[in-house]
Structure 1
Amino acid sequence: MNSFELCVAGLAGMTLSPSIRIESLTTSARYAKGAVVIIDVFRAFTTAAIALSNGAAAIVMVDDVTSALILRERGVGKVCIGERRGLKPTGFEFGNSPHEIRNISFSGDIVIQTTSNGTKGIVAARGASCLYAASFVNAAATVRAIQKSGEQEVWLIAAGDGPVRAEEDEICALYLRALLQGRSPDHDTIRSAVGTLSPRLDGQTLSAEDFAACLEVDATPLAIRVEQTEGLLVARGVRAEGKS
């Protein structure tokens, strides 16, 4: 049994609630409804959570590099963050690295983000009544926000990479489901399971610093709520009080 199967055995245990649905790959987001959570652990929504925690007023999420650069040129946002094939696109201020921006103060700036999978999933989730971007760092905060919203149907979408499932996103989906069902899986067990996965991403080696940053489970109290504003998908950090 591999690490992913062990984590499934440890976290899944119970019968899946009919109100919580786990799906894989960004294409699934097209059919999702209710409260929809797009999960991208390595690294899009870990990076987004840190940017918002470091003072960004909002993040405009788009599905291609050209759109990001055009929006910055028009003054919609000040900073472009993202990747293609794991690398920072030409003209962007930052790559898709939570470690790179850990000590950056965004001081009310609007950030524009595009990634190969995570932000594409956000763009695809047109049927959501409420939409969230999640990773391990804001999992509990996301669950509190969903619970506060009162939504009775929840879709957890593990973003993945094209036709290939991402095990870290699948494990995060299971963790979110466990929290929604009132259970509290051990953080060290989660980190241990994810720690056995390959450190390669999009043909690039994931740095040890980014790997560690992505496994800081429930490190931020901010859920990332995405709403359409003037034709743009705008993500903001929201706090929901209570216990997940």
Structure 2
Amino acid sequence: MTVVGIDADVPAGRVVVVIDVIRAFTTAAVAFERGAAEIVCVGSAPEGRALRDRHPDRLLIGEVGGLKPDDFDLGNSPLDMAAADVSGRSLIQATSNGTRGLVRHPDAAALLAASAVNAAATVRWIAEHHAGVPWTIVCTGRSAEDWACGRHLDLLLGGSAADSAELVAGIREGAAQQALRSAGRPADERVDLTRDLPLCCDVDRSAFAMVGELRDNRVTLAAVPC
């Protein structure tokens, strides 16, 4: 299969696209739209803190349990990122699913981060740079949105048409699933996705691929226009 979950074993030498629609790689795309220079993705919050200790000029962004830790500079909200002053800054991103899934693929022919906002641009970049190379799409979350985006990308990469309305419906379904799970938590641990959902559903707003380079168990993302 070309669309798999976060824990799947992916053969070496494939183009790997790692998806986190709600919200890590939507937030990352908005950061690049705001002028961020690069985003260094790490597998955990402690790794993010340790890296910022070594590079205090970098902003630490992300979440633990969906919520912004007090010592992070920014959380995992694309809406908050849309108002943030990150132009020219290097960011460190640590999230529960997206960045953790991204760092698991050291033997990929190419490694990309994607969400609905840059789906078409991701496909264009792969077609230009790795045409004919097999691909695997990794869905890092358990709810519907990442799998809807994975199917959407898989269709486009295979040369078929994909319906953006179906993708948006899948994202909204995933948000509802996450809200249902969150409702069982204490009030101070609940994650409200309603304010971020419009950005997560804004299919193809970003005309760049987020291309990763893996070094020292970290993936540095760059925005590549395409």
Instruction: Give the TM-score, by structure 1 length.
Output: 0.82
Aligned residue in 2 for 1:3: none
Once residues 183 and 132 of structure 1 are traced to their aligned partners in structure 2, the CA distance between those partners, rounded to angstroms, is 21
Q: Is the 8 A contact 1:22 1:158 kept in 2?
A: yes
Q: 1:171 aligned to 2:148?
A: yes
Residue 111 of structure 2 is aligned with which of 131, 150, 167? 131
Q: 1:99 aligned to 2:79?
A: yes
Q: 1:156 aligned to 2:137?
A: yes
Q: Is the 8 A contact 2:143 2:177 kept in 1?
A: no
The residue matched to 2:8 in structure 1 has which SS? Answer: helix
Q: Is the 8 A contact 1:59 1:111 kept in 2?
A: yes
Q: Is the 8 A contact 1:159 1:166 kept in 2?
A: no
Q: 1:68 aligned to 2:44?
A: no
Once residues 144 and 136 of structure 1 are traced to their aligned partners in structure 2, the CA distance between those partners, rounded to angstroms, is 14
What is the aligned-residue identity percentage?
36
Aligned residue in 2 for 1:51: 31
Structure 1's 21 and 193: CA in aligned 2 closer, same or farther, altered over 3 A? closer
Q: Is the 8 A contact 1:63 1:115 kept in 2?
A: yes
1:42 partner amino acid = I
Return 5+ residue gaps in structure 2 as ranges: 183-189
Runs of 4+ in structure 1 off by over 6 angstroms are none
Aligned residue in 2 for 1:21: 2
Provide the aligned C-alpha RMSD in A. 2.0
Residue 173 of structure 2 is aligned with which of 196, 208, 213? 196
Aligned residue in 2 for 1:119: 99
Once residues 29 and 215 of structure 1 are traced to their aligned partners in structure 2, the CA distance between those partners, rounded to angstroms, is 29
Return 5+ residue gaps in structure 1 as ranges: 1-19
Shift of 1:31: 4.5
Once residues 9 and 64 of structure 2 are traced to their aligned partners in structure 1, the CA distance between those partners, rounded to angstroms, is 20
Aligned residue in 1 for 2:224: 238
- How many residue pairs match? The answer is 216
Instruction: Give the TM-score, by structure 2 length.
Output: 0.88
